[in-house]
Structure 1
Amino acid sequence: MKNYREVVGIDVSKKTIDAYCYHAQVHKEFKNDLTGYKRLIKWVLKATKESAVFYCFENTGYYSLKLALYLHSKKVIYVEESPLKIKRSSGIVKEKTDKLDAQVIARYGWLHREELSPSTVKSSSHLELGRLLALRDQLVRNNAGLKGTLKEMKVLLTSSTTDLGCISLKRSIDYLTKQVKAIEIRIEEIIFNDVSMSKNYKLLKSMKGIGLVVASQLIYHTGNFTRFKSWRSFSSYCGTAPFEHRSGTSIHRRKQCHYLGDRKMKSLLSMASVSAIQHDSELKLYYQKKLAEGKDKMLAINNVRNKLIARAFAVVKRGTPYVVLQNYVA
């Protein structure tokens, strides 16, 4: 982005977007809809009188997705950045307004223009996959809450089969279970309709401990294994990569995982690791070896998590299913 001479920082909210041109030092508010986006482009051209302009805004989910889709359709260069990165780079900010936020984003875009690269919109199938995975997760959590309530009510009641509350809870649980199953069927349809995703999905499921949900989440979060250069980069993204903590001669702690990371992906990998330890003889021996070395259980689990990530990237890179080597030992 180093060849651009102007950057427009945009603060995206539910109903409005605030735009700030870094060099022109002008600000204006627009509606967060198609009409607002058209007016934004015209205003920027008039205010900056520059053709070498790129737009920078935070990834705020559905609110920023509409703007990204419009800019992509008009072939306008934009950068969709992590809100945390922009916040950490802004220093101490005592005041907060939409205008100031847009100004901070514009400053970030200009100062880091040589490091930034243009963003692109994911395919419609990839976007739908993400929405369905998020919806499935929400329904599963709701269902678990209803099951907990039903269990508590059964303890208090002498005849739970005739109680209206229990009957309603059972019906809700059955309905949510059917909805989750329908979503899972649609997730598999999306994956199998895409040749590349289908191939990687089958390769991932050849590994013990990885099923429908973990495989789908891996495909989604890695951009079908195009977003990260190596498994170590993805491990860092998930928060499972250990980092050193050392300063001078007095502070020298053992390596620890950073608290920043995708907690959902980390949780899924933890469950996959527990399952893999039970069903994969190699990982079971590896886990037991780490415990024998005196390592904590969670640290040993983390080692298994990283093993699974490394295996996932390896099978996709090779294009062949995972093979248990112990089965071929003489």
Structure 2
Amino acid sequence: MKKYDDVVGIDVSKLTIDAHMYKRSIHQVFSNTSKGYKALVKWLNKNLEGQCYFLCFENTGHYSTNLSIYLSQNDMDYVEESPLAIKRSAGIVRGKTDRLDSEMIARYAWLHKEELVLSTPKEKDIQEIGRLLSLRDQLVRDRTGKMSTLKEAQSLLKSPSTDSCCKIATKTIAYLTKQIAALEDRIKILMQSEEGLDKNFKLLNTIKGVGLILASQLIYHTNNFQRFDGWRQFSSYCGVAPFSHSSGTSIKRRNKIHHIGDRKMKTLLTMASVSAIQCDSELKLYYQRRLAEGKPKLVALNNVRNKILSRAFSVIKRGTPYVELQQFAA
């Protein structure tokens, strides 16, 4: 990053944003609306006129999206950082308020300004895909709950009330299924609306085990494969990359994946791996070979998860569909 004179830490909540200038130790609260953003810029221009600065705030999903878009539209430097990275760098903290959080964020940004990379908001279509995927996940969870309710009701003794409950639950499940299908159709339309998205989406679907949802999630989390340098970096982000654990000569444990990661992506990759083992002869042989080497089943399955990620990044980098080489073997 270029040389900055000051940094502004911002704590973003649902209704307000707390801003703190690190060097000047000035604090101010604004509303988390377009009107509040304008007031924030006016306050910054008044106190930091002629100085070079950047803003830093936590990635809080929907709460921080509008702020990042506004700053980008006004050509202002900002960094949208992981909340966990900021929290773990704070050391021992007693007490918690929005003001203290904004000071902590400002301190973190100033101390790590040489390492931080300026952020940019995701493209509009990718943001829309993220919202659709989020809503679909909610509907799928609701449908799963209703299916459990229906199964429990069907196990009860026959009665007019039980029959009514089953009918209502069945209609609700059918309605949710219809809405989930509509969201998936909307995702497909968005993918086809932009050439880059459509090309990468089709390439990902040539990989066995990768379907509509996993391909869409890969495109969303990688910002259409522009956010990460390679599949190993993304594997670490998902929480499926193994790390060594050793110290001196007395502690030397086997490699393990870290518990920090994107749980949704980890779950999707697990489901894709189980499917790929059944329908992809190459991955099936690879999985069986790992088991024959004495690897535990979960370790072998995690190897398959990384294989799928490797294939995904490879087809995008080459720009050609995945080809199963074993079918051409003599």
> TM-score under structure 1 normalisation?
0.97
Amino acid at match of 1:305: R
Contact 2:54 2:78 in 1 (8 A): yes
Aligned counterparts of 1:140 and 1:51: Cα–Cα separation in 2: 50
Aligned counterparts of 1:295 and 1:159: Cα–Cα separation in 2: 53
SS at match of 2:119: coil
**Aligned ranges 1:140-179 → 2 under 5 Å:** 140-158=140-158, 163-179=163-179
Aligned counterparts of 1:62 and 1:80: Cα–Cα separation in 2: 13
Aligned counterparts of 1:316 and 1:125: Cα–Cα separation in 2: 19
Amino acid at match of 2:33: D
- 1:47 equivalent in structure 2: 47
Contact 2:154 2:162 in 1 (8 A): no
Aligned counterparts of 1:229 and 1:258: Cα–Cα separation in 2: 20
Aligned counterparts of 2:51 and 2:130: Cα–Cα separation in 1: 34
Q: How many residues align?
A: 330
Aligned counterparts of 1:161 and 1:128: Cα–Cα separation in 2: 42
- 1:221 equivalent in structure 2: 221
SS at match of 1:94: coil
**Aligned ranges 1:180-199 → 2 under 5 Å:** 180-199=180-199
- 1:285 equivalent in structure 2: 285
Aligned counterparts of 2:10 and 2:206: Cα–Cα separation in 1: 44
Aligned counterparts of 1:19 and 1:59: Cα–Cα separation in 2: 15
Amino acid at match of 1:126: I
Q: 273-282 vs 314-323, which deviates more?
A: 314-323
Shift of 1:161: 10
Aligned counterparts of 1:121 and 1:222: Cα–Cα separation in 2: 12
Aligned counterparts of 1:227 and 1:181: Cα–Cα separation in 2: 29
Contact 1:245 1:253 in 2 (8 A): yes
Shift of 1:75: 1.2
Shift of 1:56: 0.6
Aligned counterparts of 2:160 and 2:231: Cα–Cα separation in 1: 50
Aligned counterparts of 1:194 and 1:79: Cα–Cα separation in 2: 27
Identity %: 59
Amino acid at match of 2:117: S
Contact 1:204 1:215 in 2 (8 A): yes
Question: Structure 1, residues 112-166: CA drift from partner, whole Å, max 9, x if none?
Answer: 1111121111111110000001111111111011001101110103268971111
Shift of 1:51: 3.2
Please report the RMSD computed on the Cα atoms of aligned residues, expressed in angstroms: 1.3
Aligned counterparts of 2:13 and 2:326: Cα–Cα separation in 1: 55
Question: Structure 1, residues 22-49: CA drift from partner, whole Å, max 9, x if none?
Answer: 0111101111111111111111222233
Aligned counterparts of 1:126 and 1:223: Cα–Cα separation in 2: 7
SS at match of 1:113: coil
SS at match of 2:91: coil
Residue 63 of structure 2 is aligned to residue 63 of structure 1: yes
**Aligned ranges 1:1-330 → 2 under 5 Å:** 1-158=1-158, 163-330=163-330
> TM-score under structure 2 normalisation?
0.97
Change (3 A) 1:308 1:107: same
Shift of 1:2: 3.7
* Structure 1 consecutive aligned stretches of length 4 or more whose deviation exceeds 4 Å: 159-162
- Unaligned 5+ residue runs, structure 1? none
SS at match of 2:155: helix
